[in-house]
Structure 1
Amino acid sequence: MYAHLSLPRIRFLIATCIAMFSSTVVSAEPVSFRRDVAPLLLTHCVACHGPKKAEGGYRVDTFAQVTSAGDSTSPGFTAKDLETSESFRRMVSQDKDERMPKDGEPLPKEVIAVFENWIKEGANFDGPDPKTPLASYIPAPTHPAAPEKYARPIPVTAVALSPDGSELLVGGYHEVTVWSPVDGKLLRRIGGVGQRVFAITMSPDGKTMAVASGAPGQQGEVRVLEIASGNLVRALALSSDVVFDVVYSPSGDRIATASADGMIRVFETSSGNEQLTISSHSDWVFAVAFSSDGSKLASASRDKTAKAYDAATGNLLITYSNHQNPVRGVLFHPDGSEVFSSAADNKVQRWKIADANRTGERGAGGEVYKLVASGDSFVAPSADKKVRRYITAELKDVREYQGASDAVLAAAWHEPSKRVVGGCFDGRVFVWNADDGQIVTQFDAAPGYAPSP
């Protein structure tokens, strides 16, 4: 009875039947593209079909692209037509060479069922605009709980000290852990954040903190939390890849973020409304900073450049390319006319916004990561297992903080309490006395972890 059909068509019919029989019962509530479909596309599809990598010429980062065709002549999804929906056909294909996701496990049957029911209902769209990036309007995800006990430490990529210096906050797995900076005792745990935490920044008024996090190649976000309670205020900067950095403006009325999707986004703190989107970089943006008067922004990127912008308009002021290596951190000089940048060339450089001329340089024994200021100086963590502190106005060496046995990926510096903190690749956290460089405490930032004797 199937003699008149081609082999690919027979495969499709068989796979469709299998999917139909394994699908869950259709809910009385219609499938929502914004709530149900878009998050699945970001989780399972955008890594191979996004703005950075579009296999088969097909992208899924906007609804308009989702329903368009790639290199094939068939659209990804066609309303009420499973057979001509090329993406769905590949999701249910039994041929490993054409099934999506390519080189991965088949999608779970409950995920297939969402796509199937959505197509059957008419592939309806309930987002703000078909050309708007999906990540900008999907609901904030509900994250799994952090592990009760860690089997092993994880690299520490974010540390911060509370406004009064009494608490040390460390990025964990789907959580921020809070420790005593005096004796390293665990004080509390704040869950509900992304898979990996890359930055923790305190608001100028000391009431909230912004946590940048995400799952690589899948999703990123910033969560604004109350410092005292850990309660969620709002989620910002939803994106298709991790958010590496987040900073408050000096007045606290704006929040800027830096993401692996190559974007810088600026939000109004009170409402969470997005004010600016800056796409000047061609690769991951690792760090972002405001000038002391809030009039300028600076950024650091894997595209080997640092840049400065007008913070009101987002207009590019200057590009600095002298590192010739991925740039990991940026910080403004107190007078706002110069920028410090740190990079994989093992250097901290100082340069003018007016002409991008270098005016100073300090070297390290390894890649230098994010720059963090407090008072009249700033600290620079490095892959050579040290944190260095400099006088900001002069880029003058103050002290090196030693004792770590692995690369120091993140640092915090709290001038009032005279404490410097380093978070390491091996999961160890160090707290030093800023004045003499002595270690105050050190610990594995992994609740419940018991190292082998």
Structure 2
Amino acid sequence: MKSAFQFSNLCGTVYRHGNVVFSPDGDSIYSPVGNRLSIFDLVRNTSTTLPFETRKPIARIALSPANTAIVLVADEDGRALLVNTKRRSVLAHMNFKQPLRDAQFSHDGKHLAVTHGAQVQVWRTPSHLAREFAPFVLHRTYTGHFDDVLSIRWTKDSRFFITTSKDMTARLYSLNQVEGFRPKTFTGHRDAVINAFFSKDERTIFTVSRDGACFTWRAKDEDDVATADMDEDDEDGALRSANGFALSKPGSSSSGPDDTVGLTRWGIAEKHYFMQPQTKTVCSVFHPETSLLVVGFSSGVFGLWEMPDFNNIHTLSISQEKISSVAINASGEWLAFGAQKLGQLLVWEWASESYILKQQGHFYDMNTVGYASDGQVAATGGDDGKIKLWNTSSGFCTATFSEHSASVSCIEFAKQGSVLFSASLDGTVRAYDLVRYRNFRTLTSPTPVQFISLAVDPSGEVVCAGSADSFEIYMWSVQTGKLLDILSGHLGPVAGLSFSPSGSGVLASTSWDKSIRLWEVFRTSQSVETFQLNGDGLAIAFSPDGTEVCAASLDGQLTFWNAQDGKQTGVLECRRDISGGRKVDDKVGRRNNAAGACFTTICYSADGACILAGGNSNYVCLYDVRERVLLKRWELTKNLALDGTQDRLDSRRVTEAGNIDLVNDRSDEEDLLPEERMDRSLPGAQRGDLSKRSTRPISRAKCVRFAPTGRSWAAAATSGLLIYSLDEQAAFDPFDLDIDLTPEAVREASRQGESLLALVGACRLGEKPLMAEVYEQTSPSDIALIARQLPLVHLPAVMRLVAERMQPASASPHVEFHLKWIAALFAAHGTEIRARAATDYAPTLRAVQVALNELRANVKKTSDDNLFAMLYVWNGFGQQHHGAGKGPANGISAIGMEIDSL
């Protein structure tokens, strides 16, 4: 069993906090998910989570217009990462030492403007081509505001930018010194100005304040300028002549055309109001090409206005909670909304009034996860009582079931058929048909109980659930829905259940009464065998062959039992493996911190060689079953906003009043409505809404499961559904298809000798059997030509196909044929493969290397066997002649020497 699992994707959570941003081409959207960054491809319908992590949850994202692969990601403390999204690597680190309210790249991509409290800092953008010791160079610090700066917007020529602040003003600055220019102040708002925008021709400026006011600013006439010079208290809020710069009309000969924005005398032309009572304006965005203004409100309502006429196009409600962030794509057709409290991400096409994307994670914690038999679908259950189905390839939620009225505690898929079972604290076990997506069976107990464990027979006909309060196991028939039996005997909550995969009808259960019981449930006279544990039983699992049972107990041990003869085969002491990660309010020393560490969820691998375990810790461990050793340990997250992610606490954060991280300064709640500031959570609550409970969320793995294929595993953790995989799967691209591209057309092209056309068509269809069929029918004399003409987009798929055909499992005898393909592909595309060997082609090259190593080992073994057989034959022939008096022939010795030389 391999242990080289790497982080692959993050499902179960689509948006947490911060701003959402469209890519420059408008096909993808960037969404912060905790301390990770997810990219949702709206055209190909896939989602990808980048492997890097920030120290705290991401608060700001900025994309470079000049280079679409460069992204700045900043966390809540102002620590930022400059990332290359195409290479999935971090280019530079930077600590801005204050939280960033906004960060914007200039349009030419050469400068980066960030908020720094009441100041604005402009930095030179680091080069993405060369590695530098100090990549961030400060260009200039701009002052003038008296409160926190909220937003920054650049002009098209990147010579000026406008900022807005909580001090109810906006200010216009220049990047470099401009003759006759001084920073201009835009006043007149009665609340914090959240955004300012330039029109397409940059002759108009729009400012939006939190109280729902939108002001339009234009250049003032000379008569108005003279009046403003005489009247110091003019209500338009424009700058007075005391600023000391020469007045000039836009486009006059005294100033260059690039300085028009800076030397314009701005004044209020119009005042508009959104008229949304009892709400605050939370976010806004402007599309200059279409003059479309999009505003999100704290009531979950968003509106579209056509500027500068302020014509209301739409006013719609998409949520009952506050809209935290809004973005618009390059064409102005799609709008993206993020709702922090609901964890919701929406993409709306306003012209057709339809959803392009509508995704939402679990409202509370995620408790359990299960894999379907094909490994393509993962189901999760949460404290919100919902069950969500996730496509592991695309990362999107495909269905949501909300029939449960309480927390979902356990999920199991039937081995045969598309049926999903779930157990909940509401006292029901429900069966879902994944073909029609409906709840077709609801199983209940005679008296109300809370179910905390679940097991399904391999045939899918019988389902069992363990209770937390009556200490009994209930068994139902799926076909009739009737209660078959109630298994009694445990003296504590039944924490784990597992059916034997061999189909023998043996049910294993473990309980808090420190025991394991094996029930033969299908016999008329049920026999029960009891094993004793050293601690309270928390989880149990059968090996894939049904011969071994593993149980996790409260004392931090993994105990292995032989299910056939009832003998204990081994014990693993795991406290030191799972220990680590101290809470900010811990009073226990670091050495004693492992005393309460234990596993609460375990799962065997597909081949039964390893066992995966997780629990109330930031680590997931993989053990070798035969050798009883730890193979690898994964750290789930490095998010310092969660408890249990640091092995050592920082003594500098501890004061006389306690840890400073426990102090809520409520700096981010001053903008909330009175009803939003109310904290209705119970003191010390460990479950529920993560954003409102009075204790910090703890990083832990509530459930771990191996995929049936054995190539990946998933963990339902505090930060979401983390998927770790051995390799990356090829994405299916339906945009290369047309109506004439069918499997029959591909086979016909192969029969006519058009091997390249047939191979490319099979790759576009994405059907592996068809690809293998076309590949094997290729003429060896055409391999070099096809390799040279093969499009680069299909190169990884073809290399992966060759590697799979070289495996012994494929039973393909064409060894020389496969080697010719490998040599031709590397000869034709060696430069491209080498340039992307560490990124895009890494999984494919690993597969090719493994195939070549196995082929080499098989060839060497066959050659050695043949060599020894030939030596044995020739030595026996020589002994016969020597016994006849002729002596060993010289020819035999010569042949033996030649064989030795081989």
**Does the 8 Å contact 1:291/1:336 carry over to 2?**
no
Superposition map of 1:44-443 within 5 A: 192-214=361-383, 219-280=384-445, 282-302=448-468, 303-333=470-500, 334-353=502-521, 354=523, 357-376=526-545, 377-404=548-575, 405=594, 406-416=597-607, 418-443=609-634
Structure 1 residues 32-82: Cα deviation after superposition (integer angstroms, max 9, x where no partner): xxxxxxxxxxxxxxxxxxxxxxxxxxxxxxxxxxxxxxxxxxxxxxxxxxx
Could you tell me how far apart the structure 2 residues matched to 1:388 and 1:144 are? 50
**Does the 8 Å contact 1:203/1:252 carry over to 2?**
no
**Does the 8 Å contact 1:390/1:397 carry over to 2?**
yes
**Does the 8 Å contact 1:305/1:323 carry over to 2?**
yes
Could you tell me how far apart the structure 2 residues matched to 1:143 and 1:246 are? 32
* Structure-1 residue corresponding to 2:877: none
Aligned partner of residue 628 in structure 2, secondary structure: coil
Measure how far apart 1:425 and its partner are.
2.0
Could you tell me how far apart the structure 2 residues matched to 1:227 and 1:342 are? 31
Measure how far apart 1:273 and its partner are.
0.7
CA 1:143–1:290 in structure 2 vs 1: closer, same or farther (change >3 Å)?
farther
Measure how far apart 1:269 and its partner are.
1.4
* Structure-1 residue corresponding to 2:782: none
Could you tell me how far apart the structure 2 residues matched to 1:289 and 1:236 are? 20
Could you tell me how far apart the structure 1 residues matched to 2:419 and 2:321 are? 25
* Structure-1 residue corresponding to 2:879: none
Gaps of at least 5 residues in structure 2 are 1-277, 280-317, 325-342, 345-358, 576-593, 651-902
Could you tell me how far apart the structure 2 residues matched to 1:373 and 1:142 are? 44
Aligned partner of residue 220 in structure 1, secondary structure: coil
CA 1:221–1:143 in structure 2 vs 1: closer, same or farther (change >3 Å)?
farther
Could you tell me how far apart the structure 1 residues matched to 2:524 and 2:386 are? 34
Could you tell me how far apart the structure 2 residues matched to 1:336 and 1:437 are? 27
**Does the 8 Å contact 1:366/1:384 carry over to 2?**
yes
Measure how far apart 1:319 and its partner are.
0.6
CA 1:310–1:437 in structure 2 vs 1: closer, same or farther (change >3 Å)?
same
Could you tell me how far apart the structure 2 residues matched to 1:410 and 1:380 are? 9
**Does the 8 Å contact 1:208/1:226 carry over to 2?**
yes
Measure how far apart 1:194 and its partner are.
4.5
Measure how far apart 1:362 and its partner are.
1.6
CA 1:140–1:400 in structure 2 vs 1: closer, same or farther (change >3 Å)?
farther
Measure how far apart 1:316 and its partner are.
1.1
Could you tell me how far apart the structure 2 residues matched to 1:143 and 1:429 are? 36
Q: CA RMSD in A?
A: 3.2
Structure 1 residues 400-438: Cα deviation after superposition (integer angstroms, max 9, x where no partner): 232223121111210427221221224332221222121
Larger Rg: 2
Measure how far apart 1:143 and its partner are.
13
CA 1:397–1:235 in structure 2 vs 1: closer, same or farther (change >3 Å)?
farther
Measure how far apart 1:341 and its partner are.
1.4
CA 1:375–1:292 in structure 2 vs 1: closer, same or farther (change >3 Å)?
same
**Does the 8 Å contact 2:543/2:608 carry over to 1?**
no
**Does the 8 Å contact 1:387/1:422 carry over to 2?**
no
Could you tell me how far apart the structure 2 residues matched to 1:384 and 1:444 are? 22
CA 1:256–1:446 in structure 2 vs 1: closer, same or farther (change >3 Å)?
same
* Aligned residue identity for 1:220: G
Measure how far apart 1:260 and its partner are.
0.5
CA 1:315–1:361 in structure 2 vs 1: closer, same or farther (change >3 Å)?
same
Could you tell me how far apart the structure 1 residues matched to 2:494 and 2:467 are? 5
* Aligned residue identity for 1:310: S
Structure 1 residues 377-420: Cα deviation after superposition (integer angstroms, max 9, x where no partner): 34322211022334445554333232223121111210427221
* Aligned residue identity for 2:615: C
Aligned partner of residue 369 in structure 1, secondary structure: strand
CA 1:271–1:445 in structure 2 vs 1: closer, same or farther (change >3 Å)?
same
Could you tell me how far apart the structure 1 residues matched to 2:488 and 2:367 are? 24
* Aligned residue identity for 1:398: T
Structure 1 residues 358-378: Cα deviation after superposition (integer angstroms, max 9, x where no partner): 431222122212323341234
- The TM-score normalised by the length of structure 2 is 0.28
Could you tell me how far apart the structure 2 residues matched to 1:429 and 1:140 are? 36
* Structure-1 residue corresponding to 2:761: none
CA 1:236–1:399 in structure 2 vs 1: closer, same or farther (change >3 Å)?
farther
Higher normalized helix content (fraction of residues): 2
Could you tell me how far apart the structure 2 residues matched to 1:401 and 1:371 are? 14
**Does the 8 Å contact 2:544/2:608 carry over to 1?**
no
CA 1:427–1:238 in structure 2 vs 1: closer, same or farther (change >3 Å)?
farther
* Aligned residue identity for 2:467: S
Gaps of at least 5 residues in structure 1 are 1-108, 111-138, 146-173, 176-189
Could you tell me how far apart the structure 1 residues matched to 2:625 and 2:322 are? 37
**Does the 8 Å contact 1:384/1:408 carry over to 2?**
no
**Does the 8 Å contact 1:213/1:222 carry over to 2?**
yes
Structure 1 residues 152-171: Cα deviation after superposition (integer angstroms, max 9, x where no partner): xxxxxxxxxxxxxxxxxxxx
Could you tell me how far apart the structure 2 residues matched to 1:197 and 1:361 are? 32
* Aligned residue identity for 2:623: W
Question: Looking at both structures, which has the greater relative contact order when contacts are Cα pairs under 8 Å and sequence separation is at least 6?
Answer: 1
CA 1:442–1:316 in structure 2 vs 1: closer, same or farther (change >3 Å)?
same
Measure how far apart 1:144 and its partner are.
11
Paired-residue identity, %: 15
* Aligned residue identity for 1:344: W
Structure 1 residues 257-292: Cα deviation after superposition (integer angstroms, max 9, x where no partner): 000101100010122211111111622111222111
* Structure-1 residue corresponding to 2:126: none
CA 1:142–1:337 in structure 2 vs 1: closer, same or farther (change >3 Å)?
farther
**Does the 8 Å contact 1:260/1:286 carry over to 2?**
yes
* Aligned residue identity for 1:367: D
CA 1:447–1:206 in structure 2 vs 1: closer, same or farther (change >3 Å)?
same
**Does the 8 Å contact 2:443/2:476 carry over to 1?**
no
Aligned partner of residue 365 in structure 2, secondary structure: strand
* Structure-1 residue corresponding to 2:340: none
* Aligned residue identity for 1:242: S
CA 1:144–1:250 in structure 2 vs 1: closer, same or farther (change >3 Å)?
farther
Higher mean alpha-carbon deviation, 269-278 vs 331-340, is at 331-340
Could you tell me how far apart the structure 2 residues matched to 1:417 and 1:142 are? 47
**Does the 8 Å contact 2:574/2:598 carry over to 1?**
no
CA 1:372–1:140 in structure 2 vs 1: closer, same or farther (change >3 Å)?
farther
* Structure-2 residue corresponding to 1:447: 638
Could you tell me how far apart the structure 2 residues matched to 1:351 and 1:144 are? 53
* Structure-1 residue corresponding to 2:688: none
